[in-house]
Amino acid sequence: MVRQLVDVMARDLGVPRIPGDDAEGHAFTTRTVFTALRFWVQACCIDDGYGGAMGIAPAATEQKALDWIARLSAVYPWLTDMFTATMIHRYCLALVSIGDLVHTADGTLRCTKPHDAVVRVKGGAPLTVQLGLRDLSAQDWKGCVLSGALVFAGVGERKGMAGFEPGAIDPRLPYRDELLFLAMWPNNRNYRWR
């Protein structure tokens, strides 16, 4: 029963199993936890005692994320090798860069309101990226795809594939590197996010 935790998270987040996944489920588990981490970090920033108005110190946010990973690793031990302190730090920085979180003048992290950003892809139609904290239970997932930590809208028109290569995203985007990190981690040479 406990091992079904990732299956429940994946179903709620719309993270599919893909043909290249290993039989042990390591890739699927890692992909699901990576996607869930986005929403978990955002929820952590709301839990400041003021309904998210003050925010949480970045170090506290990262420590809470590491604690969450440590609890999950009791069931999925390989997660601690994948979700290191350095990776969690980079993850939070990426969420700030793409606009899911914002640094306040007081040095805390706060969630941003839901908003859309356009990602220009070389040789293809632009993709709309939904950023900011969203209520997954009220989300209309039709035509949306979770890719790493991001939700892509309108991808259904692109046959449900949102594949990213470093050269594919317009280099003029201010958050290009962070977007690639979130869309491609971990080492997903064989991963195609549907």
- Render pLDDT for 9-33 as a digit per residue (tens, 0 to 9): 988 887 878 777 888 888 889 989 9
Q: What is the pLDDT of residue 191?
A: 38
The average confidence (pLDDT) of the chain is: 82
> Is pLDDT at 85 greater than 90 in this prediction?
yes
Q: What is the pLDDT of residue 192?
A: 38
- Render pLDDT for 182-192 as a digit per residue (tens, 0 to 9): 887 765 443 33
Angle at alpha carbon of residue 125, lines to 118 and 194, rounded to 5°: 85
> Is pLDDT at 52 greater than 80 in this prediction?
yes
Distances, alpha carbon 32 to alpha carbons 3, 14, 38, 149, in Å: 13, 9, 10, 9
> Is pLDDT at 60 greater than 70 in this prediction?
yes
Q: Is the dihedral of CA 167, 169, 171, 174 positive or negative?
A: negative
Residue that wins the pLDDT comparison between 76 and 24? 76
Distances, alpha carbon 189 to alpha carbons 84, 163, 164, 165, in Å: 20, 10, 10, 9
Mean pLDDT (whole number) for 126-132 = 82
What is the 8-class DSSP label of residue 20? T
What is the 8-class DSSP label of residue 99? T
Of the ranges 2-16, 40-54, 78-92, which one carries the lowest mean pLDDT score? Answer: 2-16
Angle at alpha carbon of residue 38, lines to 34 and 40, rounded to 5°: 100
What percent of the chain stands above pLDDT 70? 85
Peptide bond into 186 cis (omega under 30): yes
The pTM assigned to this predicted structure is 0.86
Mean pLDDT (whole number) for 152-180 = 75
110 pLDDT band (50/70/90 cuts)? very high
Distance CA 166, CA 109 (A): 28
Distance CA 158, CA 175 (A): 22
Cβ contact 158:125 at 8 Å: yes
Q: What is the pLDDT of residue 193?
A: 35
Q: What is the pLDDT of residue 1?
A: 42
Mean pLDDT (whole number) for 170-190 = 76
